[in-house]
C-alpha cells in the first residue's frame, strides 16, 4: 500500500513540475505581444543556432544614428521546416522585420516576419501573409 501511495504522489508531483520547466524556457513573456513594430535595416549577422535563431541587424533612425538590433526567431529545426537555412540571411541584406519588441525597451524583438526588397517573405512561425 505504501508503494502505491508513494508512486501516486511522485507521479502527481512530476505532472506539476514538468510544465514549469517547459514554459520557463519557451515563453514570450519578455516581449510585448500586444504591439507589433516594423523595422527596416541591414543584416549584420545571422546565427542559425539552438535554442533560437538570431538575426542581428542595424537600423538607422531619422537622424542617421545606427541602432544595433537582435531579432529572436524560433528553433533552427522549426525554421528549416519553413524553408530557412543558415545562409538564408547574409550580412548586407536589406530587410524589413516585423515583430514584438522587448518589454524592457532594449533593441531586441521576437521576429514574426522578414521581408526582402523583392517581396520575398521569410516566416518563422508558419503564418499566411
Cell of 3: 508503494
Give the start-end residues of each E strand in 6-85.
Answer: 37-47, 54-60, 66-72
Q: Percent of the chain scored above 70 by pLDDT?
A: 78
Q: How many CA atoms lie within 13 A of 63 on its CB side?
A: 2
- Cα 4 from chain centroid (whole Å): 43
pLDDT at 21 over 60: no
What letter would DSSP give residue 16? H
Whether the Cβ atoms of residue 70 and residue 54 lie closer than 8 Å to each other: yes
Domains in the chain and their CATH numbers?
37-122 (2.40.50.1010)
Is the pLDDT higher at 71 or at 11?
Answer: 71
53 pLDDT band, cuts 50/70/90, is: very high
The answer to pTM > 0.85 is: no
Instruction: State pLDDT tens for residues 95-105.
Output: 999 999 999 99
Amino acid at each position: 500500500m505504501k508503494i502505491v501511495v508513494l508512486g501516486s504522489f511522485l507521479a502527481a508531483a512530476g505532472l506539476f513540475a514538468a510544465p514549469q520547466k517547459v514554459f520557463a524556457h519557451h515563453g514570450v513573456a519578455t516581449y510585448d505581444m500586444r504591439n507589433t513594430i516594423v523595422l527596416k535595416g541591414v543584416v549584420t549577422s545571422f546565427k542559425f543556432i539552438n535554442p533560437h535563431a538570431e538575426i542581428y541587424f542595424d537600423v538607422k533612425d531619422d537622424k542617421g544614428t545606427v541602432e544595433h538590433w537582435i531579432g529572436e526567431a524560433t528553433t533552427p529545426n522549426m525554421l528549416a521546416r519553413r524553408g530557412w537555412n543558415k545562409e538564408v540571411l547574409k550580412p548586407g541584406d536589406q530587410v524589413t522585420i516585423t515583430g514584438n519588441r522587448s518589454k524592457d525597451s532594449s533593441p531586441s524583438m521576437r521576429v514574426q516576419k522578414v521581408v526582402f526588397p523583392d517581396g520575398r517573405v521569410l516566416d518563422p512561425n508558419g503564418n499566411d501573409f
